[in-house]
Structure 1
Amino acid sequence: MATTILTIETPSLGDRSYLAHDGEVAFVVDPQRDIDRVLDEAARAGVRITHVFETHLHNDYVTGGYALAQETGASYFVNGEDEVSFQRTPILDGQAVEVSPTMRVRAIHTPGHTFTHLSYVLEGREPAVFSGGSLLFGSTGRPDLLGEAHTDDLARHQYRSARRLAAELSDETSVMPTHGFGSFCAATSAGADATASTIGQERLINPVMSQDEEDFVAATLAGLDAYPAYYVHMGPANAAGPSAGDLSEPERADKEQIRRRLEAGEWLVDLRTRTAFAAGHVPGTFNFGLDGQFATYLGWLIPWGSPVTLLAESPEQIAEAQRELGRIGIDRPAAAATGRPEEWTDGPLATLPSARFADLAQVRHHRSVTVLDVRRVGEWREAHIDGAVHIPLHDVVTGMEQVPEGEVWVHCASGYRASIAASLIAATGRHVVVVDDSFDLSARAAGLPVVAEAPASA
């Protein structure tokens, strides 16, 4: 029987896991921490998981590999050179594993994203390479997650690793990366919209295949932007052999508990859409909508280890958020409440004025307002409103004193990050308006002065 490869998407983190089976047994590559999704896929296919392969010690999420192996009795393959505190089956470059008579998996050392990164080649008539954070669709994994001292060296490793895969594998080999798809683990956003690729396609479109090494390294390093602060906690967690996440229902918070937690300075996170939040919310709460990269941005901004209380319209939304947070090591919400914001406080609700870029253009004709751009550095450099203040979203909490006094209009690329920033700023008592609009489509069209060059201080 031919091998079937099932993709398990985690779009909120821009990652993929894989379950490959022959109708009887299966192996899994880079599972996320919520292993129930993998077990459900295996059950639907009627197969038994016997092998779990880890391409690297991930920096963007807590792995489910160890927990899945413990649950199923599968052999857990991790690079023998990785320093881990759990029992695993060590595997090194060139070693092959006979998963079944029809599935043979061979390890290839592909350093670059990490020094010990492995790719796994499923050999046979329909070959595939599970390339983890090495060769991505139209890009490669970023080389700077182990610190600045290693970045240049890892970028050169990444160049050679991608080219090694291209040299050793046939054009028809399917490329199955873990990262990409909007993940901050990708060196560039190129190929982020692709859904499939092969070695042959990557030879044609991926810059790593056409550039010489010096040009590739220079372009890669120049394109690197900030990555989420919580990444620093993921490697140690994965080296310790993390358990599966606890998805049991959190404690229910009533009005009094919500009030106490707000007064204590804890984070109370409203998961509703930015439109619903703007219409009415509990003063002092923050808006991280479930309709965006909720866990990425919350994990990036919240002081690590701080208690977090979740506010949502339904228990299902709480459960979804809890699953998302568990993937990045925020194990248990302190509490949760559902319903309408009127049910969460005895006091008056706050609102958040919302506007479009056309409104901003009109307002600037009549009075002085601060325009705050919370996009990333790379986005700012490509184009920004002349005279705007730039504080990337991930710096807003620690850089609150840099937000000018007076009326502040906050924008990002579409409105999602702007709402997060505006809710953080509004909680300090500032007068803030969130621009819920597309920067690319509307800023210039509204007549706002958009410039492409960055000021010297950016």
Structure 2
Amino acid sequence: MDVVVLETPPLGDRSYLVHDGSVAFVVDPQRDHDRMEAAARDAGVRITHVAETHLHNDYLTGGLALARAVGAEYLVSADDEVEYERTGVRDGDVLAVGDLEVLVVATPGHTHNHLSYVVRHDGREAVFSGGSLLYGSVGRTDLIAPADTEPLTRHQYRSARRLTEVAGEGAQLYPTHGFGSFCSSGPASGAQSSTLGEQRRTNHALTDDDEDHFVRELIAGLTAYPSYYAHMGPQNRRGPGSPDLSVPEPLDGAELARRLEAGEWVVDLRNRVAFASEHLKGSVSFEYGDGSSFTTFLGWTLPYGDRITLVGSREDVEKAVRDLSRIGIDGPDAALGERPADLAPGAPTDTIPRVGWAEVAEALKAGGETVLDVRREDEYATSHVEGAVNLPLHDLLTRHRELPEGRLWVHCASGYRSGVAASLLRRLGRDVVQVDAEYDQAGFAGVPVAAGNS
């Protein structure tokens, strides 16, 4: 049995191709399923089964489109209501995939009808746990409805333990979430591989013998999650089609200028330093980079469904189109190029001051300045600049009128979110300074910091 891992770092998820050298079983493929087809070709195997552990809330699946493209069976929980034909599977079902034996295990918790798959071959076992048992933690349990959170958390606790009963300690564990995904919860370990035996010794769902304590602790630790999640489940029930990943025909300068003037979302993909130095007035900064949080923060911050125009190099636009398709943002327009003067000749440009913590310390000593912290509320509660106003990036567009008048010194944890926030506020006509620095260096620069909610 060989397992090919396909990483999707922007969303913190993994997909898997499991094969016996001839035929393959796919688990939780992303919407851009051409990657999985390429992996099968590289391995010289034929995909006969495509399986979902659950109806995902953080991305659009490529499972249905992949199964249709390669003529495979599409395995989805028989208890999930979907609008397409599938092979419904339930707890205890055993499937033959070439020489592989696949046992279906009900592991509710992350969703009501969540499944895991135990694959056996030549004395080896592998557990594909989706959003159930993760490395060091479990999938979050609050994505369905508030009233369901506690019951699902109790299911999650029991499901994690059940997996250790149906597979041995030496079984390799392959979760879908837990690599930066907001679908994970609790103290995820950051490990890249693990076994059930290792998890029995280190995972709080397996080491905490008090279910009530586990439930309280997990629910108390749940933080905000992206607003676009609300759109993923319904679309996955309908069955997403294959995305169009082609680079759009570039807009001309006049049309780009018109969209800026009309207040449409023009997204600059260049790094935030270049954006701050000069950008088309009214555009917003979502720096693109492999493995960055571009997809999550754009989908979380901008109104879902609004038209988007991407501005950047052909390479970055092509990658951004692929990334955005995974959360259902299809068919963005584009203007190709990296110099504002070339993109829309004659259109007004703007700049944003960038500073480090030393400049913030000096400004605070002088007095009369407002520091805006755009991290999540839980991050702010752990530690923050004394006197700073907290308004998370994902709430900025709907709550910006709550901010005090005057100049805003905008910071986050690393500089990425502060770059986005500063561009949004500048677009709204605010006087902003972007603090492009790591938050954990603030105290060393003489900026007063406070712990807790003081």
* TM-score tier after normalising by the smaller chain length: over 0.9
Aligned match of 1:142 in 117, 140, 143? 140
CA distance in 1, matches of 2:162, 2:95: 20
1:351 paired to 2:351: yes
Partner residue in 2 for 1:194:
191
CA distance in 2, matches of 1:156, 1:437: 40
Quick one: which amino acid aligns to residue 276 of structure 1? A
Deviation at 1:403?
A: 2.0
Aligned match of 2:207 in 200, 205, 210? 210
SS in 2 for 1:155: helix
Quick one: which amino acid aligns to residue 426 of structure 1? R
TM-score by length of 2: 0.97
What number of residue pairs does the alignment pair up? 449
Residues 435-454 of structure 1 mapped to structure 2, 5 A cutoff? 435-440=435-440, 442-454=441-453
CA distance in 1, matches of 2:33, 2:334: 23
1:276 paired to 2:274: yes
- The answer on whether the counterparts of 1:182 and 1:189 sit within 8 Å (CA) in structure 2 is no
SS in 2 for 1:406: coil
Residues 210-289 of structure 1 mapped to structure 2, 5 A cutoff? 210-211=207-208, 212-289=210-287
Q: Deviations over 1:79-107 (max 9, x none)?
A: 0000000000010001011001x211111
CA distance in 1, matches of 2:341, 2:219: 49
Deviation at 1:166?
A: 1.6
- The answer on whether the counterparts of 1:254 and 1:337 sit within 8 Å (CA) in structure 2 is no
CA distance in 1, matches of 2:149, 2:77: 21
TM-score by length of 1: 0.96
1:378 paired to 2:378: yes
CA distance in 1, matches of 2:111, 2:337: 41
SS in 1 for 2:96: strand
Aligned match of 2:154 in 153, 156, 159? 156
Partner residue in 1 for 2:432:
432
Quick one: which amino acid aligns to residue 328 of structure 1? I
Quick one: which amino acid aligns to residue 45 of structure 1? A
Quick one: which amino acid aligns to residue 304 of structure 1? Y
Partner residue in 1 for 2:106:
109
CA distance in 2, matches of 1:444, 1:388: 14
Q: 1:289 to 1:189 in 2, by over 3 A?
A: farther
Partner residue in 2 for 1:294:
294
Deviation at 1:189?
A: 4.7
CA distance in 1, matches of 2:88, 2:95: 11
Q: 1:66 to 1:110 in 2, by over 3 A?
A: same
- The answer on whether the counterparts of 2:7 and 2:13 sit within 8 Å (CA) in structure 1 is yes
1:364 paired to 2:364: yes
SS in 2 for 1:244: coil
Alpha-carbon RMSD: 1.1
Partner residue in 2 for 1:423:
423
SS in 2 for 1:41: helix
Deviation at 1:215?
A: 1.0
Deviation at 1:452?
A: 1.0
CA distance in 2, matches of 1:373, 1:198: 39
- The answer on whether the counterparts of 1:180 and 1:189 sit within 8 Å (CA) in structure 2 is no
CA distance in 2, matches of 1:328, 1:242: 11
SS in 2 for 1:445: helix
Runs of 4+ in 1 over 2 A off after TM superposition: 334-339
Partner residue in 2 for 1:31:
29
CA distance in 2, matches of 1:5, 1:394: 37
CA distance in 2, matches of 1:262, 1:347: 9
Partner residue in 2 for 1:91:
89
Quick one: which amino acid aligns to residue 64 of structure 2? Y
CA distance in 1, matches of 2:201, 2:273: 43
CA distance in 1, matches of 2:139, 2:81: 21
CA distance in 2, matches of 1:51, 1:381: 46
Partner residue in 2 for 1:63:
61
Partner residue in 1 for 2:316:
317
Aligned match of 2:128 in 127, 130, 135? 130
CA distance in 2, matches of 1:353, 1:64: 42
Quick one: which amino acid aligns to residue 389 of structure 1? V
Quick one: which amino acid aligns to residue 99 of structure 1? V
Runs of at least 5 residues in structure 2 that lack an aligned partner in the other structure? none
SS in 1 for 2:280: coil
Runs of at least 5 residues in structure 1 that lack an aligned partner in the other structure? none
Aligned-pair identity (%): 52
